[in-house]
């Protein structure tokens, strides 16, 4: 891979046209009515996820040696972007793309041979990532879920919250503490990653409870009470799990930012069309600058955010530092999507609240991007400290 930033190429225009067209064809089979019904029932879009799996799109980042497509991160992002731009909701399956990275980069060859080919075909779903806890939030180093070695197993005790898709996943990547925090030199040490087979774990030391939430992420709480996990399921060295998940965070932020760009595209297209067709006082409301300008500004913000996102993806592929760019792309893309959502809602007026227009559902879904997987304020804190050199904020 390149180590010279001057040689990094940032593509312009509609790259990966074949992939885009393939995703659009799948999305055409899952119209707004499908997603409206899924949202109303708080169900999991099994048919959509299966269609994406069958087409190989969820295995895009898995190397060909393990049955995947071995595509660049940008290609995977384009898949997610097109899903959201064409009315679908890839958040139901996007974790399958980035969580497997921890297994790919830090797992043993035996582990990779055992799991990756089945994840690539969709036979196994790795959709759940267990990090967040009720009392620690984003302060990951203070998580309290612990795993104690007992012979050939780890015994896990603790609780996780806001764990999406655990009821629809076969496997869970679990970050837990294997060495008490008061016994380590660096607070990031002593954390380990375990690959938990949820099929065997439920009812045998693991309870999963669904959490009702504003958006349909199939979010859950996990309660561990003496769950025995084979020591062979340890990913990477014991006590170095924080590093194992940290190097995948840039990829995660780049991928979900593509979803925000897709959201913005959907909102801008939907708002523009409605503004051109909706007649009030014998003329389209889109003739009014008060309607035009918020939509136009959202478009400008989206274009700027996408350029930063393309840069971040290009740096990632060149194996160059991209933390600054990935975080800024996440910030700009999520805000562009939200401003587009607000403009679309305001343009529709009262009809924006009507489920049949799908604006209120997409409006709710887009808001989460400013909170997860990293909040806007944490991005700003990162920029202030690590980019601008200001004192660490508290």
- Alpha-carbon distance of 356 to 46, in angstroms, equals 22
- Report yes or no on 214 lying in a domain: yes
Domain assignment present for residue 9? The answer is yes
Residue 64: inside a domain: yes
| Residue 63: how many other CB atoms lie within 10 Å | 15
- Compute the average pLDDT of residues 144-166: 96
Overall pTM surpassing 0.85 (yes/no): yes
Distance CA 327, CA 381 (A): 11
70 part of a folded domain: yes
Q: Are residues 291 and 338 in the same domain?
A: yes
For residue 226, the surrounding DSSP H or E stretch is: strand 219-230
Question: Of 71, 95, 121, which one is at a domain's C-terminal end?
Answer: 121
| Total tally of structural domains belonging to the chain | 3
**How many other CB atoms are there within 10 angstroms of residue 226's CB atom?**
12
Helix or strand holding residue 180 (H, E): none
Per-residue model confidence (pLDDT) at position 3: 53
Residue tagged 């760009």 (tokens) = 261
Give the DSSP H or E segment for 234. strand 234-235
Domain annotation covers residue 373: yes
Mean pLDDT of the residues in the chain? 94
- Alpha-carbon distance of 210 to 270, in angstroms, equals 33
Segment 374-385 shows an average pLDDT of 94
Mean pLDDT of 23-27: 98
H-run or E-run covering 368:
none
CB of 78 closer than 8 Å to CB of 16 = yes
Question: Do both 251 and 362 map to the same domain?
Answer: yes
Q: Which of 326, 302, 301 is nearest to 312 (CA)?
A: 326
Q: What is the pLDDT of residues 176-230, one digit of tens each?
A: 999 998 999 998 999 999 999 999 999 999 999 999 888 888 899 999 999 999 9
Mean pLDDT of 163-178: 95
Q: Is the pLDDT of residue 247 over 80?
A: no
| Helix, strand, coil percentages for the chain (3-state, nearest 5) | 55, 15, 30
pLDDT at position 2 is: 43
Q: What digits encode the pLDDT tens for the residues 335-374?
A: 999 999 999 999 999 999 999 999 999 999 999 999 988 9
Same domain, 130 and 105: no
- 158 and 228 belong to one structural domain: yes
Task: For the chain, give the percent of residues with pLDDT over 70.
Answer: 99
Cis omega (within 30 of 0) for bond into 373: yes
The CATH number that applies at residue 370 is 1.20.140.10
Give a yes or no: residue 393 inside a domain.
Answer: no
Q: In this structure, are 214 and 316 located in the same domain? A: no
Same domain (yes/no): 251, 383: yes
Same domain, 369 and 291: yes
**What is the pLDDT at residue 1?**
43
Banded model confidence at residue 313, pLDDT cuts 50, 70, 90: very high
Residue 79's pLDDT is 98
Same domain, 89 and 69: yes
Contact 263, 365 (CB under 8 A): yes
Mean pLDDT of 78-100: 93
At residue 376 the predicted structure's pLDDT band, cuts being 50, 70 and 90, is: very high
394 assigned to some structural domain: no
Sign for the CA dihedral angle at 84, 90, 91, 92 comes to positive
Residues 192 and 176: beta-carbon distance below 8 Å: yes
CATH code of 200's domain: 2.40.110.10
Residues 86 and 130 in one domain: no
Choosing from 186, 221, 245, the residue where a domain stops is 245
Asked if 126 and 96 count as a contact pair (C-beta separation under 8 A), the reply is: yes
Of the candidates 245, 271, 287, which is a domain's last residue?
245
What pLDDT digit, counting tens, does each position of 250-299 carry? 999 999 999 999 999 999 999 999 999 999 999 999 999 999 999 999 99
Q: Are residues 265 and 148 in the same domain?
A: no
CATH number at residue 45: 1.10.540.10
Q: Let me know whether 141 and 105 are in one domain.
A: no
| Phi, psi of 189, rounded to the nearest 5 degrees | -85, 165
Residue 43 maps to a domain:
yes
Is 50 exceeded by the pLDDT of residue 231? yes
Residues of the domain holding 375:
247-387
User: Are both 48 and 100 inside the same structural domain?
Assistant: yes
- Closest alpha carbon to 300 in 342, 268, 278, 270: 268
Calculate mean pLDDT across residues 80-84: 98
């Amino acid at each position: 891979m390149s180590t010279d930033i001057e040689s990094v190429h940032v593509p312009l225009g509609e790259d990966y046209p074949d992939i885009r067209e393939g995703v659009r064809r799948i999305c055409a089979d899952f119209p707004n009515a499908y997603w409206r019904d899924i949202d109303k029932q708080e169900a999991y879009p099994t048919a959509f996820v299966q269609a994406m799996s069958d087409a190989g799109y969820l295995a895009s980042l898995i190397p060909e040696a393990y049955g995947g497509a071995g595509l660049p991160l940008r290609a995977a992002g384009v898949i997610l972007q097109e899903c959201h731009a064409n009315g679908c909701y890839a958040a139901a399956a996007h974790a399958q793309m980035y969580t497997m990275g921890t297994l790919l980069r830090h797992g043993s060859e035996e582990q990779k041979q055992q799991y990756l080919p089945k994840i690539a075909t969709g036979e196994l779903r790795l959709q759940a990532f267990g990090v967040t806890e009720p009392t620690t939030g984003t302060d990951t180093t203070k998580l309290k879920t612990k795993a104690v070695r007992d012979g050939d197993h780890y015994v896990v005790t603790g609780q996780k919250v806001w764990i999406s898709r655990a009821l629809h996943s076969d496997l869970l990547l679990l970050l837990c503490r294997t060495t008490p925090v008061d016994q380590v030199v660096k607070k990031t040490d002593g954390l380990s990653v375990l690959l938990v087979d949820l099929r065997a774990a439920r009812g045998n030391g693991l309870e999963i409870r669904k959490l009702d939430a504003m958006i349909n992420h199939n979010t859950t709480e996990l309660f561990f009470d003496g769950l025995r996990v084979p020591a062979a399921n340890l990913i990477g060295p014991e006590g170095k799990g924080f590093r194992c998940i940290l190097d995948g965070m840039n990829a995660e932020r780049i991928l979900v930012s593509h979803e925000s760009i897709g959201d913005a595209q959907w909102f801008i297209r939907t708002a523009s069309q409605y503004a051109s067709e909706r007649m009030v006082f014998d003329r389209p409301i889109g003739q009014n600058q008060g309607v035009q300008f918020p939509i136009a500004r959202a478009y400008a913000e989206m274009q700027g955010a996408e350029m930063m996102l393309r840069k971040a993806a290009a740096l990632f592929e060149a194996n160059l530092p991209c933390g600054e760019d990935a975080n800024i792309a996440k910030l700009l893309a999520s805000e562009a999507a939200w401003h587009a959502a607000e403009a679309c809602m305001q343009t529709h007026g009262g009809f924006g609240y009507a489920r049949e227009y799908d604006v209120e559902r997409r409006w709710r879904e887009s808001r989460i991007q400013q909170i997860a997987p990293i909040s806007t304020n944490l991005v700003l804190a990162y920029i202030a400290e690590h980019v601008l050199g200001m004192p660490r904020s508290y």
